[in-house]
Amino acid sequence: MARESEISRLNHKIKRLSTLIEVNTLISSSLDLDRILENVMTISKQVMNADASSLMLIDEKTNELVYQVALGAVGEKLKQEFRLKMGQGIAGAVAQEGKPLLIEDVYSHPKFYRGHDEATGYRTRSMIAVPLKVGDRITGVAQVINRLDGDAFDRDDLELFIALCSMAAIAIDNAKMHRSLMEKQRLVKDMEFARTVQESFLPQKTPEAAGYSFSAHYTPAQEVGGDFYDFIMLDNGRIGIVIGDVSGKGVPAALYMAKLGSDLRTLAFTEADPASALARLNDLLAERSRRGMFATLLYAELDTRSGSITISNAGHLPPLVKRADGSVKKIQSTGGSPLGILSGMKFGQEAIGLEPGDTVVLYTDGIIEAMNAREELYGYERLEAVIKKGAAEPHAQKAAIIEGVNRFTALSPQHDDLTLVCFGRIP
């Protein structure tokens, strides 16, 4: 008799071990978190011969246990309606203390939280709750409830379920890491895409107009930024020249910029002058304002026939003009506030004459605020000095400014987009 019972005990053990091997193969065959969770609990329910099973993971933000899988008659209701705080109920206590619990009669256990049964009409009798652990870190709790044969769970069941949960915990952790890695990769791809989209909105070439020369430079920062510039070929020998900077960085700034750029292209043709184009553009942006986003923007119309430029400046940095005599002057315009904040704003504009040999420099704060290793800013004085010293011809002027900034920042990482537009009348 003793030998038979020994054989039966060993057979039972072999069966459980082969089940565990099977379980391990099944749960480690996927990296899909949802599938693993579902698999783990379906197998647990079968292997443990349980009426219901559930798995909760700790929400790191709220430190609450959240149902991921709940199998059984009232599983769906549980999943939708219940969260447990640390220490609350049996699962909460197991998550807090990190020790498994085998409970033969649940209603006599002081930690049992009757809320679930009362809300679902289910009657919990016996259960096992085991913490999901990776090293010392507790990531959740798995439970099996009520043996189907009506008996209470025993120590054998506990041992098996602990083994099963230790494999599940590792598989779940791997899948979570895989998921976050995939998300990061997707984010990087999205960023790269956003940058190509953004750059595709910038002009591919500079305008050609007899007696004038145009040059532009754009270096994006590591993240997608919100700088932009544009040249718009209007009628009667007029050319629209735009430079701007959208608040913030990343995809939202790039999308805002794209919309703003295309709106301004339309308004440049339909509105009478730069000031009214900006007033209209401001209203369009303010009407659909999101998260306080706004843009500083300067719009200038150059009349290549007369050499006159009309400038309207919406909160953008003042342009610098280098005259043929070598003097450099900031154009402090009446303009107005940045675009997209309040609708109904009025914008001023001023006209200046461009003589042969004069050059205008438009730029964004990426130039003024370029920082070196000693955390000093490039600033206006340095920019003005470079412009004064350099050649007046726009291409040479642009190259000298960029070289000046690069020499100043040396190897320090570039935090903001660097955008520069130079144009002038050929002597």
Smallest distance, Å, CB 56 to another protein?
27
Alpha helices in 302-389 (DSSP H): 365-368, 379-389
- CB 291, min distance to another protein, A: 6
Least distance from another protein to the Cβ atom of residue 105, Å: 45
In angstroms, give the least distance from the CB of 253 to another protein.
9
**Nearer to another protein among residue 173 and residue 416 (C-beta):** 416
Tokens 């709790």 appear where?
141
Residue 52 three-state SS:
strand
- We find the least distance from the C-beta atom of residue 317 to another protein, in angstroms, to be 7
CA angle (18 as vertex; 13, 21 as ends), nearest 5: 130
Q: In the complex with another protein, which residue's Cβ is closer, 75 or 338?
A: 338
Question: Which helix or strand (DSSP H or E) is residue 395 part of?
Answer: helix 394-409
Residue numbers at the binding site for another protein (CB under 8 A): 226, 245-249, 289, 291-294, 296, 314-317, 335-338, 341-342, 345
Query: Which residue pairs, CB below 8 angstroms and at least 24 apart, start in 25-34?
Result: 27/167, 27/168, 27/171, 28/167, 28/170, 28/171, 28/174, 30/175, 31/174, 31/175, 31/178, 32/175, 33/172, 33/175, 33/176, 33/178, 33/179
Residues with Cβ < 8 Å from 210, sequence gap 6 or more?
304
By beta-carbon proximity to another protein, the closer residue of 247 and 372 is 247
Q: CB 200 → another protein: shortest distance, Å?
A: 23
Determine the number of helices (DSSP H) and then strands (DSSP E) in the chain: 11, 16
How far is the CA of 99 from the CAs of 64, 78, 132, in angstroms? 17, 23, 10
**Which one, of 52, 46, 214, 78, lies nearest residue 143 by Cα?**
52
Nearest to another protein of 3, 291 (CB atom): 291
Output the CA–CA distances (angstroms, integers) from residue 183 to 19, 101, 180, 188, 379, in the order listed: 34, 36, 5, 9, 39
Nearer to another protein by Cβ, of 218 and 294: the residue is 294
Of residues 100 and 274, the one with the C-beta less far from another protein: 274
Identify which of residues 188 and 377 has a Cβ nearer to another protein in the complex: 377
Compute the CA torsion angle 261, 233, 199, 345 (nearest 10 deg). -20
Cβ proximity to another protein, 63 vs 343, nearer residue? 343
Beta-sheet strand order (sheet of 328-330): 212-219, 418-425, 359-363, 320-322, 328-330
CB of 386 to another protein, least distance (A): 20
Least distance (Å) from another protein to the CB of residue 229?
17
Smallest separation (angstroms) from another protein to the CB of 150: 51
Contact 328, 387 (CB under 8 A): yes
Dihedral over Cα of 370, 373, 374, 375: its sign:
positive
Comparison of 30 and 247: residue with beta carbon closer to another protein: 247
